[in-house]
């Protein structure tokens, strides 16, 4: 054990370690650039040939990563990209950053993690560190990955090292990035934790060690369950305020002046992104296998999932005030990414709102400066020019409050505006309906 561990630690200290990242998406590419910035050579592995080609050309496809950063490291030889897995034999550490979506039945889909681990097992050699960053349920690292890597007779903590370190990527965040966001790490053994921590200290400012991979997995789920439950609460408060004839935004703003015991969350048209709508359901699923019902999680998920229906009902009411029905009315949706100022469509509530409106017979247009085209059920929709959209629309619905839009002009050009994000705060007009 000491030989394999000592050799790997020496490689880490001297920065002669070679790191591979499986999955070069919103987590993998920024991480690869940070690793290369630290002077360590990194190989990006992805089955998507288009991504590999762009990296090789020195181009970024992630808004938070500049193409100049990718190009610099490709030219220096510190970053390269491949779409085959034989390179794992030459690597000292492999970090798994593949997606972990939910299946149609809301069960965890770990097929991409399983595929990655099987590729590692086929090309494994003694002395390697494997780290899973993909969000999953507590126990995955030890129950799913460990047995597969030990099949060939290698022993964890002795012949190879295994850890879990949850990604904490927040696309579009101008303050916190991969390097300055504290990194939680849990090893399967104390030796695994030591090796993984030493590696990440090269390119992450602060390491937060925990006692096990299971604890690290739970940390990630707690973080996003906390947000999901509180967003569910404030969404339900929005529904209450609507019935009470109270401005929910005013209530939240006033409550936020309390200097203790309150943290403001904002209501909206539903949850989006890869983490918050999905991660709590991983925990709920795992607890069901232990005969426990995660009631807070399920209730919050139910409320949040119903918000697009509530938005569409509000559109219906707004059109009724003009003696129009949703059917055959033209509706302009403003913003389709899941949060402002990014191009990420994952789990975006805008897609649900658009589909629900189309199901009711509405003629839906959308405008998003970050997303030129979307596909719904195989049908393409192209972002419409905003002046034209406002002129044609019977109702405008603000789903994503991008910073570069002129909301004063938008309100002035609309017949009626349903604002689900309080983007029109401070604008006085009788044609605004707020969530």
Q: What is the pLDDT of residue 274?
A: 77
pLDDT digit string (tens) for 26-60?
999 999 999 999 999 999 999 999 999 999 999 99
From residue 22, alpha-carbon distances to 28, 48, 61, 80, 108 in Å are 7, 11, 16, 12, 19
244 in the same domain as 205: no
Partners of 367 in beta bridges:
334
Q: What is the pLDDT of residue 3?
A: 67
DSSP 88-112: GGG-SEEEE-----B-TTS-B--HH
Strand pairing report for 373-376 and 363-367? unpaired
Q: What is the pLDDT of residue 56?
A: 97
Query: What average pLDDT does this structure show over 381-408?
Result: 96
123 in the same domain as 36: yes
CB neighbours (10 Å) of residue 9? 16
Q: Is 395 a catalytic residue?
A: no
Does residue 217 lie in a domain region? no
244 in the same domain as 116: no
271 in the same domain as 137: no
pLDDT for residue 19 is more than 60: yes
Cα torsion through 100, 357, 399, 61, rounded to 10: 50
Range of the domain at 45: 2-211
Does residue 310 lie in a domain region? yes
pLDDT digit string (tens) for 358-371?
999 999 999 999 99
Does residue 218 lie in a domain region? no
Judged by average pLDDT, the poorest of 100-104, 143-147, 328-332, 353-357 is: 100-104
Does residue 253 lie in a domain region? yes
Distance CA 162, CA 186 (A): 9
CB-CB contact of 266 with 434 (8 Å):
no
User: Of 142, 176, 211, which closes a domain?
Assistant: 211
CA-CA-CA-CA torsion sign (137, 139, 143, 148): positive
User: Of 185, 211, 237, which closes a domain?
Assistant: 211
Average pLDDT, rounded, for the chain: 95
Q: What is the pLDDT of residue 2?
A: 65
Give how many domains the chain has, as a whole number: 2
The catalytic position among 192, 241, 275, 395 is 275
Which pLDDT band, with edges at 50, 70 and 90, does 356 fall under?
Answer: very high
Q: What is the pLDDT of residue 322?
A: 87
- Specify the 3-state DSSP secondary structure of 194: helix
255 in the same domain as 145: no
375 in the same domain as 341: yes
Query: What average pLDDT does this structure show over 258-280?
Result: 91
CB neighbours (10 Å) of residue 100? 21
187 in the same domain as 239: no
Does residue 221 lie in a domain region? no
Strands (E) in 31-104, as ranges, are 41-45, 79-82, 93-96
Distance CA 242, CA 231 (A): 16
Measure the CA angle with vertex 394, ends 390 and 398; round to 5°: 60
244 in the same domain as 184: no
pLDDT for residue 71 is more than 90: yes
DSSP 329-370: -EEEEE--SSSTTS---TT-HHHHHHHHHHHTT-EEEEE-TT
pLDDT digit string (tens) for 78-98?
999 999 999 999 999 999 999
Does residue 259 lie in a domain region? yes
Distance CA 143, CA 356 (A): 40
265 in the same domain as 193: no
Does residue 380 lie in a domain region? yes
Which pLDDT band, with edges at 50, 70 and 90, does 103 fall under?
Answer: confident
What CATH number corresponds to the domain at position 59? Answer: 3.40.50.720
193 in the same domain as 71: yes
pLDDT for residue 106 is more than 90: no
Written as six digits, the tokens of 145 are: 């990955």
Cα 349 → chain centroid: 14
Angle between helices 49-56 and 67-76 (to 10 degrees): 80
pLDDT for residue 380 is more than 60: yes
388 in the same domain as 320: yes
165 in the same domain as 28: yes
CB-CB contact of 324 with 360 (8 Å):
no
CA-CA-CA-CA torsion sign (202, 205, 210, 212): negative
- Specify the 3-state DSSP secondary structure of 419: strand
Does residue 99 lie in a domain region? yes
pLDDT digit string (tens) for 174-230?
899 999 999 999 999 999 999 999 999 999 999 999 999 999 999 999 999 999 999
Q: How many CA atoms lie within 13 A of 49 on its CB side?
A: 0
């Amino acid at each position: 054990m000491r030989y394999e561990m000592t050799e790997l630690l020496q490689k880490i200290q001297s920065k002669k370690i070679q790191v591979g990242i499986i999955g070069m998406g919103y987590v993998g590419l920024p991480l690869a650039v940070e690793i290369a910035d630290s002077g360590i050579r990194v190989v990006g592995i992805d089955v998507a040939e288009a991504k590999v080609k762009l990296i090789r050309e020195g181009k970024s496809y992630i808004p938070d990563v500049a193409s100049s950063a990718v190009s610099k490291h490709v030219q220096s030889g510190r970053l390269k990209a491949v779409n085959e897995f034989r390179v794992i034999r030459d690597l000292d550490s492999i970090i798994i950053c593949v997606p972990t979506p939910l299946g149609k039945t809301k069960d965890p889909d770990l097929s991409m993690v399983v595929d990655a681990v099987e590729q590692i097992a086929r090309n494994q050699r003694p002395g390697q560190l494997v780290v899973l960053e993909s969000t999953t349920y507590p126990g995955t690292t030890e129950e799913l990955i460990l047995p597969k890597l030990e099949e060939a007779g290698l022993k964890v903590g002795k012949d190879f090292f295994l850890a879990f370190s949850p990604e904490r990527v927040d696309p579009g965040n101008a303050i916190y990035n991969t390097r300055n966001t504290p990194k939680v790490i849990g090893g399967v053994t104390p030796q695994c934790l030591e090796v993984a921590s030493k590696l990440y200290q090269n390119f992450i400012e602060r390491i937060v060690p925990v006692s096990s991979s299971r604890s690290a997995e739970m940390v990630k789920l707690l973080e996003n369950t906390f947000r999901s439950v509180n967003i569910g609460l404030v969404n339900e408060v929005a529904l209450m305020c609507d019935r009470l004839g109270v401005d929910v935004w005013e209530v939240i703003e006033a409550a936020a002046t309390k200097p203790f015991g309150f943290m403001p969350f904002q209501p909206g048209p539903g949850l989006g992104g890869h983490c918050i709508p999905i991660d709590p359901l991983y925990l709920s699923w795992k607890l069901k296998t232990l005969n426990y019902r995660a009631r807070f999680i399920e209730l919050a998920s139910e409320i949040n999932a119903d918000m697009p229906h509530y938005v569409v009902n509000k559109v219906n009411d707004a059109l009724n005030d003009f003696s129009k029905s949703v059917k055959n009315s033209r509706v302009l949706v403003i913003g389709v990414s899941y949060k402002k100022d990014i191009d990420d469509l994952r789990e975006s509530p805008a897609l649900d709102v658009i589909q629900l409106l189309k199901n009711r017979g509405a003629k839906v247009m959308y405008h998003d400066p970050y997303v030129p085209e979307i596909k719904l059920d195989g049908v393409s929709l192209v972002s419409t020019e905003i002046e034209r959209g406002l002129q044609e629309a019977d109702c405008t619905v603000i789903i994503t409050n991008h910073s570069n839009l002129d909301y004063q002009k938008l309100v002035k050009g609309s017949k009626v505006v349903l604002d689900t994000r309080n983007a029109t705060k401070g604008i006085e007009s009788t044609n605004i309906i707020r969530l």
